[in-house]
Structure formats: structure tokens, C-alpha cells
Amino acid sequence: MLAKNEYSKLKTVIVGDATGAKVPEMDASLRCVNYADVADTSSLPGAGLYPQQVIDEANEDLQTFITFLQGEGVRVRRPDLQHQPSYYKFCPRDTVFVHGHNVVYAPMPLIARKEEYMAYTKHFAWSESLKEHRIDISRSEQLYNKDCVGNKDILALNEIEPCFDAANVLRNNDDIFYLVSNSGNHKGADALQELLGTSAKVHKIEDVYSYLHLDSTIAFLREGLLLVNPSRIRNKDQLPEVLRNWDIIEAPEPVDIGHHPGYCNSSTWISINLFSINEHLVALEQHQDNLRKILETHKIECAMLPMRHARTLGGCFHCVTLDLERQNV
């Protein structure tokens, strides 16, 4: 059985790889989903590989993370290096959602990422009990609402077909939380609920954060304890009712780790994109000392690790992982 929450003792995880990471050609999907807030696209980097320095340093930091995980007794898997990405294999979290016996290859909105799931399919061939789901979508021009450009009140995706990144979704056992945003529409949440059936309840989170994913807005630390980004979650009424009685930790203002000139795919809040090894140990970006101090008061130890290009490549420790197995789920 695959992991059903974000914090039980970790047994097996996929960690991404930055090799071959590239900026795709501009199209309607990239313009609306990733760059709706950019008025002048001429300021963006052209299509092609990320600078080699970024790729090399990102892989160094991933290897440091892997060494730490293995020291904690965790089995580490990697993407299929034979699969040549049109975007990258840095963030497996974006691509695949797992819960119980279900493996969902997300119907991702970016055209350049439509085959990215193929880098991970080999990891799900070991058990006949697993149910693999792939939602085929057209990604036609009609899916993308061009009125979203320059208008944060309009989301990028129309409701003509289900569409979402797996990183729009977080798990807490039988409750699944889905962010409606530029990278996930309502039909996507409905399709996920249909696939999961009665095994879990999908709760939509709306009008909180339009840009992309949920895991820079909230983090499940253990049952009853939630870390939130206070610039987006300003009161408990913004959370689904099942979370309103939880204890809430407000993340402090993050330390900006910067980004490679011209390449920026995340806000400074990528800093709260931590990854739990168990209920008392998380991997945290090494400069976030104020957050570390707060978490330690809740008896959560922090492994302070480098992720120099989290903002450049758009992912920190939760993004670059896909937890396959956790204990007692």
C-alpha cells in the first residue's frame, strides 16, 4: 500500500533529478499557467536547457539530500534517466499522485509536461494490487483562459476537461486537499474524487492562491498540526471545515535564497516546502532558521539542508520528492 499522508515514518521515496532540465517553447499553456503575471514575456529566458551551473548545483544538493535520507534508513528511487524530458524531472511531486492502492498520473496543464509521468512508471510495476490511472486530455487552446494574463482574479484553466498537477494535492489519510488554481481546475478535483471513489474525500481549497501548487501554502506536520503561509491563509475559515479545529503554526517571513539571474519559478515562500521524514523530523531549506526555531518548540527537529536553486527551478524538498511508502498507513 502506498503512502496516505505526508508525515508518517518514511520508508521509500522518489527523489528528482535536474539533468536535462529545460525551458520549453512558449505556448498558450505556458503563458497562462506559469506566466500569467508577467506583462512582458521578452524578459523571460528563451527556450533551451537551464544553465549548466544550475543543473550541476541542483544535482549536488539532491545528492546531499539523498545521503541524508539514506542515513535515516529510507530507500531512495530515482526517475528513469532514459526518459528525455521536454521540461524536467526535478519535481516528481508535480507529476504523480499516490494514495493507498491508487497511482494517478496527473493530467498536467503544461503541454511540455504531458509525457513527464513516463519517467516514473517503472516504480509502480512491482505490485499487481496497485491501480494505475491516467486521465487523457486534449490540452486544446480552449482549455486556457487567456483573460488570466495580468488578472489574478481569473484562473488559467477553463472547465472543458479535468486538468491538474499532482502538487495541487495533499493527503491526510482519508482526506485529500485540492487547490483550485492556475494548475488545477474544478473538473480536475471532481475527476480525482471519481477515481478514488469511497476510499477518500476530496476537499477543494479555493480563493487562497491562484498561481500554482498547494505545498507552498500549507504543510501537514502530524495529525492535528498544520503549518500555513500567513500571506495566503489569513484565518481558519479559508480552510476546509475538517481542518478548522487543528493547531495552526504561522510560518515566519522567509529568508530569500535568491535565484539565478533571469530564471525564477517560485516566490520566497518556497521555503516552507519542507518534507517530513517522520512526525518529529523534517528536511528544511538551510537558511530558514526562524522557521526551524518555531518547529523545534513543537518537538520537530529540522535537518537544515541546501537547495540553492529552489526558486530557480521551482521546487524545494516536498516538490523534489514523491513519497511512495510510509509506515502504518
Q: Which residues have a catalytic role annotated?
A: 165, 213, 319
> Tell me, what DSSP letter sits at residue 252?
P
- Could you identify the residue written with the cell 541524508? 68
Q: SS3 string of 124-175?
A: HCCCCCCEEEECCCCCCHHHECHHHCCCCCCCCECCCCCCECHHHEEEECCE
Separation between Cα atoms, residue 99 and residue 195, nearest integer Å = 11
CA atoms of 269 and 285, how far apart (whole Å): 11
Q: Cβ distance 281 to 262 under 8 Å? A: no
Half-sphere exposure of 190 (CA within 13 A, CB side): 7
Cβ atoms of 164 and 185 within 8 Å: the answer is: yes
φ, ψ for residue 204 (rounded to 5)?
A: -80, 140
Q: Give the H or E element holding residue 283.
A: strand 281-285
For residue 91, which of 186, 8, 183, 159 has the smallest C-alpha distance? 183
CA distance 186 to 206: 10
Residue 114: its H or E element: none
